[in-house]
A = this chain, B = another copy of it.
Amino acid sequence: METADLDRLNAIVSVTHLAPQQALFLEGDRADNIFNVTAGTMRLSKMMPDGRRQVTGFLIPGDFLGVAFNAIYAYTAEAITLANLCRFPRLKLEGLLDDFPALERRLLGIASNELVAAQDQMLLLGRKSAQEKIASFIVMLSRRAVRHGRPANPIDLPMTRVDIADYLGLTMETVSRTFTQLRKDGIIALPRGQVELVNMDRLEELAAS
């Protein structure tokens, strides 16, 4: 991206800080902004009327939220840890898009990658066993850490067992039992707030795709 573009982006951006568990926006809110995570971990989720919840993603620094060009947000976004975000007002951003097509191409690329991830998640939710889900989850976190320029191992787990369960379509108890089993099998270790990938090969076998 060129300097001129960056300057105009900087002109419209503002910064947001969130405390743990604080909501950035709710499912159904008017989608007036696009955000970029600069620090912390965010949780995206959808809720059913009776309280059942599906977590659709966890975001780490570098990830975008609200890229979808719809009138309202399709999910709730909340901070898991302390978090910082850059806010881009949609109205002003759309003005920029007309002048800098590269920006729009970039957004399409982001949406495109999210779609691929969403399809992988459908396969996980629809067809994988609890053990395969947990193994896939750990491998995915490790690969993403590498993509974001962090070490592949160990991995931070700032989210609770309930969050993981709601992401993988399981219960908290099943998540806990499966972590314990993998630990007893010597495949992972579980220092507080982290996972250590002791046997990466075996973990990828268990992820089964």
Please report A residues at the B interface, Cβ cutoff 8 Å: 46, 48-50, 52-54, 56, 67-70, 74-75, 97-98, 101, 104-105, 107-109, 111-116, 118-123, 125-127, 166-169, 208-209
Of the candidates B98, B107, B122, B208, which one forms a contact with A54 in the assembled complex, judged by CB atoms under 8 Å apart? B122
> Given that A104-B101, A109-B69, A116-B74 are known contacts, is A48 also in contact with B123, CB under 8 Å in the complex?
yes
Residues of B within 8 A of A48 (CB): 123, 127, 208-209
Using CB atoms, name the residue of chain B closest to A133. B126
Of the candidates B56, B98, B105, which one forms a contact with A122 in the assembled complex, judged by CB atoms under 8 Å apart? B56
Identical chains bound together, number: 2
Q: List 17 A-B contacts (CB under 8 A).
A: A46-B119, A46-B122, A48-B127, A49-B208, A52-B127, A53-B127, A67-B112, A68-B112, A69-B108, A69-B112, A97-B101, A104-B105, A108-B108, A111-B112, A115-B115, A121-B122, A126-B167
Question: Please, how many angstroms separate the alpha-carbon atoms of A121 and B122 in the complex?
Answer: 7
Residues of B within 8 A of A127 (CB): 48, 52-54, 166, 169
Contact A126 B50 (CB under 8 A): no
Contact A108 B104 (CB under 8 A): yes
CB distance from A143 to the nearest CB of B (A): 16
Using CB atoms, name the residue of chain B closest to A112. B68
Contact B75 A119 (CB under 8 A): yes
Contact B126 A54 (CB under 8 A): yes
List 6 tightest A-B contacts by C-beta distance, closest first.
Answer: A126-B169, A118-B118, A125-B125, A68-B112, A54-B123, A111-B111
Contact A70 B113 (CB under 8 A): yes
Question: Please, how many angstroms separate the alpha-carbon atoms of A104 and B112 in the complex?
Answer: 13
Contact A208 B114 (CB under 8 A): no
Question: Please, how many angstroms separate the alpha-carbon atoms of A126 and B208 in the complex?
Answer: 19
